Structure 1
Amino acid sequence: MLYMYGFDRIGVVVGDLFFVDPEPIKGQEGAERGVRLELRLIASGPLKGTIYSAYPIAVEDPVWRVDLLESVEGRPGSFDRTHHHPAFTDWDPGHRVFVRELSADPLGWLADKLADLDGVLSEAGFPADTAGPDDAAELRRAAPEIVAATGRLLERVRAGELGRPPAGELPVSADGKPAVVRTGWL
């Protein structure tokens, strides 16, 4: 499932995720599932038909990411893999950053971050004018809706409806290690 919220030049995308890293960092072994939220740059393209045609919409470069993940083998509600990526290099996120407040109250922490677009952009290395003139105010206004949608996705992941592995056995590489597995839009 994918939710998209678009403002002028900034968008938020939120979706469920199942993930296996074949080369995890120590303590992060095994499958993960949960919800991923990304702040992205967005753009509207020119009409491709008549005045009534749909506008092309591009969801572009990632700016910031939060992963509300848990280990599949762990206790539901543990948020034991919950982290964020304050910055990206091109399309690749920086290292996982674990924050006690994020794991303790993921939705509250997320609401605070969404209310501070200038701070998120600055930490990610983007100038404030990356956003449109009303993006910060509109994002703050939409933050409760975005946080609620994120919470609903988390509930559906925990219920086993979303964030599921692909059907069948999880693949392994030639050396017997888990292969890369990733389901979801993000």
Structure 2
Amino acid sequence: AYRPERDRERSGKLARLHDLLDEILARGDRLLIFSQFTEMASLLQQYIQEQFAVPTLYLHGGVPGKKRMQMVTQFQAEDGPPVFLLSLKAGGTGLNLTRANHVFHFDRWWNPAVEDQATDRAFRIGQTKNVLVHKFVCQGTLEEKIDAMIAEKKALAEQIIGSGESWLTEMSTSDLRELVRLRQAAYAE
């Protein structure tokens, strides 16, 4: 059975989210919370509404297109709800949610591009505030391994894509000679 106080004591993520929401909502800021698990997002919606007495939208794959757009319009309104929960897949692309200046990834997705696309919902034309991104990871769990894998993927991508042609200018003369030197197998009979 769902019991907010007990659940917060047993979940480090929920306890941390609660503390952050206390601060964020007190300042009048708005936030997006992404989760890949629809059941978790449903529980979070219930928890937030009960603990903070604020309306909380929840967009998932089962929401029809017309209703999706109504939810976006509602969130973007001056007096709209401060919290918008989104499933990572349904809410990760094609939405402009610039009223939010906090983005939470309650659980990690193995593909960093999917998370980045979701985060970009708040980083759009029209955003007037700094956006803070919060990624929750529990130590000693599969999530921690996924987080490490994501960091490795991003570092590798940065090495390959981010460096452009600068790697050539950073090579020593002997490294350049080795690069262009033909191996014996290339010219041996």
Scaled to the shorter chain, the TM-score interval is: under 0.3
Highest RCO, 1 vs 2 (Cα 8 Å, sep ≥ 6): 1
- Per the normalisation by structure 1, the TM-score is 0.26
- Per the normalisation by structure 2, the TM-score is 0.26
- Name the structure where helix makes up a greater proportion of residues: 2
Structure with higher Rg: it is 2
- Name the structure where strand makes up a greater proportion of residues: 1
